[in-house]
Amino acid sequence: MPTASADAVPDAGTRRRITVEILIVLGLSLGQSGVYAVVRLLDKMTQGPLQGQTTTLNPVLDDRAVFDLVYQLLGIFFSLVPVALVLFLLTEPGRSAFRRIGFTFSRPVLDFGLGFALAAVIGVGTLGVYAAGRAMGITTAIVPAALDTYWWTLPVLVLSAMRHAVLEEVIVVGYLFTRLRALGWSVPAMIITSALIRASYHLYQGIGPGIGNFLMGLLFGYAYYKTKRVMPLVIAHALVDIAGYVGFALFGSAIGIGD
């Protein structure tokens, strides 16, 4: 599929193809999740106050351990197929998609330093937004992990966290920014659009998580604009989710921090 370079102004036909490509990618991945999340939120709101409802992020998929593990792993694998798709679409002759969006370990000091810093900010901010949302009655009670205890429980939770980090940051930041830049969008417009999409697919948890993830999207979008690297965002996102999922599984008292 033809694409426009960052410096070229695409013609009308190319712009249409890029726009359609974006819509297809989002329709197969996080855009679809956003639509379902909005419907689920409306469904929950018609059933009663959000404050009295619960959202489980990593549920049991089968009551038999071996099939639960198989379903968990299949879910993780197939949810990453859209990531493979966008990396394929962003690859051009002599131009790696991984390097193009900074999804490499070529700058470990920056990636891990910024990743840990962002994780600290997002972790504290998420807890605050969650507590405020619960107090205001606009956020459901969130259970980060509800898997039964098996030898594979913690590894699967870590893989689940990494899956969300890669899926969200590669598509809603790295891919989307690259394509919107080719369409001539301004930086503020790209950051806000990315943040709105991120907020949309978290709305099934309540209005509070939607607001919190919108703010997270603004921060992550700005960080990507400044560094042109998605890896720090993946690291930060994975750290926050691992802390929530594994912490809850081990201690049962962690506050849900979203996926």
The answer to whether 125 and 216 are in contact (CB under 8 A) is: yes
Q: 31-66: per-residue pLDDT in tens?
A: 999 999 999 999 999 999 999 999 999 999 999 999
pLDDT confidence tier of residue 77, bands split at 50, 70 and 90: very high
What's the rounded mean pLDDT across residues 73-91? 97
Q: How many CB atoms lie within 10 A of CB 68?
A: 20
What's the rounded mean pLDDT across residues 86-95? 95
Q: Report the interhelical angle of 81-90 vs 65-79 (nearest 10°).
A: 20
Q: How many CA atoms lie within 13 A of 146 on its CB side?
A: 13
Q: In this model, does residue 6 exceed pLDDT 70?
A: no
Q: How many CB atoms lie within 10 A of CB 203?
A: 23
Residue 55 dihedral angles phi and psi, to the nearest 5°: -120, 125
Q: 155-165: per-residue pLDDT in tens?
A: 999 999 999 99
Average pLDDT of the residues of the chain:
92
Q: In this model, does residue 194 exceed pLDDT 90?
A: yes
Q: pTM for this structure?
A: 0.92
Q: In this model, does residue 259 exceed pLDDT 50?
A: no
Q: How many CB atoms lie within 10 A of CB 48?
A: 9
Q: In this model, does residue 181 exceed pLDDT 80?
A: yes
CA 194 to each of CA 62, 91, 131, 143, 198: distance values in angstroms, whole numbers, following the listed order? 34, 21, 25, 26, 6
Percent over 70 (pLDDT), the chain: 94
pLDDT number for residue 246: 92
Which amino acid type is present at position 188? Answer: P
Q: How many CB atoms lie within 10 A of CB 67?
A: 11
pLDDT confidence tier of residue 10, bands split at 50, 70 and 90: confident
- Higher-confidence position of 256 and 83: 83
Query: Residue 95 carries which DSSP code?
Result: B
pLDDT confidence tier of residue 8, bands split at 50, 70 and 90: low
